[in-house]
């Protein structure tokens, strides 16, 4: 969206609602179970029912731009708290829920002439720690360092810079 002669603003939003995530063990005795909104020794990696990314950007005519991104993951409950009898196991009170997580990322860009693009940014701008869980709720293979790095930002603040040269 053009804002007069001062520049262009844009907004993007991508969200995902997970209605169900059925796991069928293939064994009649074990049956199947739904892991939407759960994590733990049976369901493995956290599967939040809602997650999204929203980005607000502003680009000026002189080639400078800035954008902020919000990454959100809804809370997930330990799978053993489910009413499904197939999700059995010991419940660890300290791990009953991983609360909702939000991360904010900032990016600055500068296009100089027709051949140079500079960028500078920080992911996890506020250096938010990843949610930690105890080892009983942290199955090997999907959990590393008592967190789920494939879902949550385990590195902390990440600063980057780059330049693109076109010839």
What's the whole-model pTM score?
0.87
41 vs 46, which has greater pLDDT?
A: 46
Overall average pLDDT of the 116-127 stretch: 96
Q: 117 pLDDT band (50/70/90 cuts)? A: very high
Q: Flag whether pLDDT at 167 surpasses 90.
A: no
pLDDT band per the 50, 70, 90 thresholds, residue 32: confident
Q: What is the mean pLDDT of residues 11-27?
A: 91
Question: What is the band of 130 on the pLDDT scale with cuts at 50, 70, 90?
Answer: very high
Better-predicted residue by pLDDT, 161 or 3? 161
Segment 107-129 shows an average pLDDT of: 94
Mean pLDDT of 49-76: 97
Cα separation, 6 vs 62, in Å, equals: 9
Say what percent of the chain tops pLDDT 90.
Answer: 63
What is the C-alpha separation between 165 and 115, in angstroms, rounded? 6
**What's the pLDDT score for residue 163?**
96
How many degrees, rounded to 5, is the angle at CA 32 between CA 27 and CA 35? 140
Position 94 scores a pLDDT of 83
- Comparing C-alpha atoms, which of 80, 127, 122 is closest to residue 105? 122
């Amino acid at each position: 969206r053009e804002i007069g002669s001062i520049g262009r603003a844009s907004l993007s939003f991508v969200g995902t609602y997970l209605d169900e995530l059925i796991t069928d063990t293939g064994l009649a005795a074990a049956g199947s179970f739904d892991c939407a909104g759960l994590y733990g020794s049976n369901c493995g990696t956290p599967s939040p029912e809602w997650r999204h990314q929203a980005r607000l950007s502003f680009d000026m005519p002189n080639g400078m731009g800035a954008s902020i991104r919000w990454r959100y993951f809804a809370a997930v409950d330990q799978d053993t708290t489910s009413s499904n009898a197939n999700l059995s196991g010991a419940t660890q009170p300290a791990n009953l829920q991983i609360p909702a997580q939000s991360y904010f990322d900032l990016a600055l860009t500068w296009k100089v002439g027709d051949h140079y693009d500079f960028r500078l940014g920080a992911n996890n701008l506020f250096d938010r720690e990843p949610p930690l869980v105890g080892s009983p709720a942290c199955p090997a293979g999907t959990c590393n360092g008592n967190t789920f790095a494939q879902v949550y930002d385990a590195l902390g603040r990440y600063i980057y810079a780059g330049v693109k040269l076109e010839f």
